[in-house]
Structure 1
Amino acid sequence: MNNRLSGLLFDKDGTLIDFDRTWGPAAHAVMTTLAGGDRARFERLMRVSHYVEAERRFLPTSPLLAGASSVYGPLWAEALDRPAGPDLYGEMDRLFRAAALRTLHPIGAPADLAAALRGAGYTLGIATNDAEASARAQADRLGLTPHLDFIAGYDSGHGAKPGPGMVLAFADRLGVPPHRIALVGDTTADTGAARAAGAVAIAVLSGPSGEGARAVMREEADHVIGSIHDLPALLAEIDGPSAPTGASSR
């Protein structure tokens, strides 16, 4: 039985891009827009989001760290005194997509890494609880799109993580069993999705999760590395000399 990994599925936020530097200022801009100049509404949004305004970042307990807008959207709807539902969530997604492109910060050089991994024979994809349109826009901006065969968001029809849908859809796209797929991510939503699908769970410690969550991830993951740029060395251990031996992290 061939157990060599065939596909690598990457979480996006905290894995490919710096969560705090990208989403911290982006969230401030989105909350400012949605609050419409009403400071009380803005403060309610910050409170339910576990957001620290002075530092432009989220606390590790924030529901936005791994949740789709459909998950934290009801909290925002209540804070804004607006109806919860697709209209509001779609507006939130559009605002976040535009704001995050202005503040996008990759972790190292993900496009260089992706090129090396693809050259070594791995098929690559993204599985994110962000909206698919946002994921595609960021992949374009980062130069990742030419190296990707699959991009799924919470709204792509496969469900959100920690459900297994995105992983199973990727495995189906490749025509391989899930155990030949690895999901690389920084939260328990990622390790949970991998486990639920029967895939390999690789945890990276480059996200904003607190040490408590990281300790849980270490228990749930099959492998733990510092960042995606430690992946070539890990793959050389898992898959042998056919795996890439290095990629620039610049």
Structure 2
Amino acid sequence: MNKPARKIDGLLFDKDGTLFDFHTTWSTWAGGLIEDLAGGDADVRARLAREMHYDLAAGRFAPTSPIIAGTNREAAECVARALPGREVADLELYLMQTSATAPQAEAVPLVPFLTALKGEGIALGVATNDTEYGARAHLGEAGVTGFFDFIAGFDSGHGAKPDPGPCLAFARAAGLAPARVAMVGDSTHDLIAGRAAGMQTIAVLTGPAGLDDLRPHADVVLTDIGHIPAWMTT
């Protein structure tokens, strides 16, 4: 019996909130970051939480946080507004180094998931608004770097989402027409970038954004990336 035709030949994943559950990783990291930077000063703690749109009581980012889909530079600028006198460049380096060691919570068990996709001949890539250094550190910690043919951060020379540059760079690297690639992400930045590149778009609900925010920009909304194999052939 012939296999059903599949919708795509390549998958380009966002990292945070897509391959890895967002709040388990990043809301926890941010809480520790605020405590470290505040140094016990309640006023500084409150300023940091306000600028970062972080709910100290709940221990979670608010969906409005500019850090969620922003670049490492944008996150540093956000933090700097709460810390007069601190240089953005120094904070950018600090955020890159501390975030690279943040323990990652996989959205689904990644090794078997990615093994199955590679077995189907699917080209795989990662495009994140984190640094490439951070992306490689997190993928390496999960033991999955080798599954990806393309790994780009906002600082890899292709631009940052929602610009389509990283998406188009993956399509070129994989030798695929953008229409045969799906951009997979948990934020509107991911989906807008994918559509602007002429790609199919898959939204997942393992990040801060809700269904109503994602649905207008997505061809399909899935609970998590584990549902992608079934979607590819239906």
Give me the TM-score of the superposition, normalised by structure 1: 0.86
Task: Say which of 7, 16, 21 aligns to 1:18.
Answer: 21
Aligned to 2:147: 147
Pair 94,234 (structure 1): closer, same or farther in 2 beyond 3 Å:
same
Deviations 1:129-176 (A, max 9, x none): 111111111111112112111111111111111111110110110122
Alignment of 1:111 onto 2:93: no
Aligned to 1:134: 134
More helix by share: 1
- On the 8 A contact 2:182/2:202 being kept in 1, the answer is yes
Alignment of 1:235 onto 2:232: yes
Alignment of 1:39 onto 2:42: yes
Q: Tell me the distance in 1 between the aligned counterparts of 2:97 and 2:216.
A: 36
Aligned to 1:218: 215
Deviations 1:63-120 (A, max 9, x none): 111111222322211201135543321222112222x13xx21112122111100110
- On the 8 A contact 2:111/2:143 being kept in 1, the answer is yes
Structure 2 runs not aligned, ≥5 long: none
Q: Tell me the distance in 2 between the aligned counterparts of 1:68 and 1:45.
A: 17
Aligned to 1:179: 179
Q: Tell me the distance in 1 between the aligned counterparts of 2:176 and 2:153.
A: 21
Structure 1 runs not aligned, ≥5 long: 238-250
Q: Which amino acid aligns with 2:95?
A: M
Q: Tell me the distance in 2 between the aligned counterparts of 1:84 and 1:223.
A: 42
Q: CA deviation at 1:4?
A: 5.2
- Give every structure 1 segment of 4 or more consecutive aligned residues whose post-TM-superposition deviation is greater than 6 Å: none
Identity fraction in percent: 44
- SS of 1:75's equivalent in the other structure is helix
Please report the RMSD computed on the Cα atoms of aligned residues, expressed in angstroms: 1.8
Aligned residues: 230
Q: CA deviation at 1:202?
A: 0.8
- SS of 1:54's equivalent in the other structure is coil
Q: Tell me the distance in 1 between the aligned counterparts of 2:232 and 2:119.
A: 13
Q: Tell me the distance in 1 between the aligned counterparts of 2:158 and 2:171.
A: 12
Aligned to 1:57: 60
- SS of 2:202's equivalent in the other structure is strand
Give me the TM-score of the superposition, normalised by structure 2: 0.92
Q: CA deviation at 1:11?
A: 0.8
Deviates more, 1:85-94 or 1:7-16: 85-94
Task: Say which of 76, 80, 86 aligns to 1:77.
Answer: 80
Aligned to 1:67: 70
Q: Tell me the distance in 2 between the aligned counterparts of 1:117 and 1:84.
A: 43
- On the 8 A contact 1:73/1:84 being kept in 2, the answer is no
Aligned to 2:93: 90
Q: CA deviation at 1:5?
A: 2.0
Pair 74,84 (structure 1): closer, same or farther in 2 beyond 3 Å:
farther
